[in-house]
Structure 1
Amino acid sequence: MFSDQGPSLRELAVQALSSVERGYDLLAPKFDRTPFRTPDGVLDATAGALRPLGPFGRGLDVCCGTGAGMRTLEAVCRDGIAGVDFSAGMLAQARNAHPDADLVRADVRSLSFDGEFDLAVTFGALGHLLPAERPAVFAGVHRALRPGGLFAFPIGGPPPVTSALYWALLAFDAVMRVRNAVWRPPFVMYYRTCPLGAVRDDLAAAGFGVTTVPLTALGRRDDGAPRARLVLARKAPGPA
């Protein structure tokens, strides 16, 4: 896609008509050559915002995909990193990129970790979760963290209604809703189902204390608002 090394239109069509898991298995070898991979600028901005809050012990990338986000964990964690994803194809790519990481194939809606990590991150995964599924994921991440642990992820600011991006995202979500209404299995990928307010409420319900910081390295919109913020969800510390 958009390059000779990326997926063809036919490959993208096959992926879009598959389940989420099967679609990513198929796309995995070429995923990092598509615009869907989290840009390095976002990863570096996240690492920069996390660095003053660390260093952290052990880190977990939730929905790690090909492992792009693990570069953020490597920059701020000193006791090793791990990743979890349900696509075997994506995990194979992550294993090639990060041979020393612990990689687990699992459904993030039913994570089995228990107090093993000091930092968890996720990049670009919330759109693959229906709003009703977020509480289970956030509860699982909460269990996976040690007392005082941090769950962090970037979230883009809503584009202005007058922008082309606003209408492009609206159109994409509309097409996906039609596709999922007429075709099985569904492919869950939406851009407008995880507004900051709703995400904040779900994190608080899971037991996190939630703050945000602007990712200033990514710039500001014409109205002065940050293009993206880093959500910082902190698990309460244990007894002194």
Structure 2
Amino acid sequence: MKPKQIGLAYDSIIHLWQREDFNRNNGIEAHKKALSFVKHKGAALDIGCGCTGRFIDLLQGEGFLMTGLDVSSEMLALAKQRHPDVAFIHADICEYTLENKYDLITAWDSIWHIPLRHQKAVLTKIIDSLNDGGVFIFSFGGTTEEGEHEDDFMGPTVYYSSLGTSGFLSLFIELGCHIRHLEFDQYPELHTYLIVEK
């Protein structure tokens, strides 16, 4: 499943993020943990920013100049309504060239939708786009081995992939990053997040 198909799938379920019972605290504590490692609060990028704007709100409140990127046009339309002052990019992160440098990049519940064969290249591109000392936080499926699967839990069929916990750690060590925090934050579910510093 290509990222553009993921975007179309998310276009059809934006109502899930507009419900009154949507947990706007999801991922906030993890991002506060990431902020504890940040040395400079300049530019920040939210990859797979979606429509809620909760991370944009948090990071703007900390003084960051925000940019959001998403493959779903419907998600971005809502995001622009909520944050008309923020620059948004409608793009597939696998194909898009990140031309700017950032002090913080977040990819919460988004990178796991890109094809397994693109994981290493995309993550390398993200690290290359950080300033020295920049911080990257992202969530992933904390599986033992790398793998990929599809499910229709949210409605439409959606694709997921993971390098596996050890695979992600090995890649970031190879890229010269410092591992700052790893947490299975919804254990026993495999939802996991990692904070690395360039």
Fold-level similarity (TM above 0.5): yes
What's the counterpart of residue 231 of structure 1?
194
Distance 1:219 1:188 in 2: 20
Tell me the equivalent position of 1:189.
159
Structure-2 separation of matches of 1:197 and 1:48: 24
Deviation sequence 1:33-61 (CA, Å, 0-9, x none): 399x7x43332212321232235211100
Q: Offset of 1:80 from its aligned partner?
A: 1.0
- 1:129-168 alignment, distance < 5 Å: 129-155=114-140
Matches within 5 A, 1:47-126: 47-54=31-38, 55-66=40-51, 67-76=53-62, 78-126=63-111
- After superposition, the Cα gap between the structure-2 partners of 1:89 and 1:193, relative to the gap in structure 1 and judged at 3 Å, is same
Q: Does the alignment pair 1:21 with 2:4? A: no
Rounded to whole Å, the distance in 1 between the matches of 2:183 and 2:108 is: 14
Q: Distance in 2 between matches of 1:220 and 1:174?
A: 21
**TM-score between the two structures when normalised by the length of structure 2:** 0.74
Corresponding residue for residue 170 of structure 2: 201
Partner residue of 1:211?
A: 179
In 2: Cα distance, 1:30 partner to 1:174 partner = 19
**AA at the equivalent of 1:203:** F
The Cα of 1:100 is off from its aligned counterpart by 1.6
Q: Distance in 2 between matches of 1:65 and 1:79?
A: 18
Partners of 2:31 and 2:137 within 8 A in 1: no
Q: Secondary structure at the match of 2:122?
A: helix
CA distance in structure 1 between the partners assigned to 2:183 and 2:15 by the alignment: 30
Q: Compute the displacement of 1:220 (Å).
A: 7.0
Q: Which has the higher strand share?
A: 2
* Cα distance in 1 between the residues matched to 2:113 and 2:135: 22
Q: Deviations over 1:47-79 (max 9, x none)?
A: 321232235211100111113432342343x24
CA drift of 1:147 comes to: 2.5
Q: What is the rounded CA distance, in whole Å, between the counterparts of 2:101 and 2:70 in structure 1?
A: 17
Secondary structure at the residue paired with 1:100?
A: coil
How much is the aligned-residue C-alpha RMSD, in angstroms? 3.5
Q: Which one has the largest radius of gyration?
A: 1
Unaligned runs of 5+ in 1: 1-17, 159-172, 177-185, 222-226, 236-240
Displacement of 1:212: 4.0
Residue pair 1:57, 1:117 contacting (<8 A) in 2 also: yes
- Percent identity reads 21
* Match status 1:40 vs 2:24: yes
Q: Distance in 2 between matches of 1:127 and 1:228?
A: 11
Relative to structure 1, the CA distance from residue 79 to residue 73 in structure 2 (aligned partners, 3 Å threshold; closer, same or farther) is: closer
In structure 2, distance between residues paired with 1:208 and 1:40: 33
**Contact 2:101 2:130 survives alignment (8 Å):** yes
SS at 2:14's partner residue?
helix
The SS at the match of 1:109 is coil
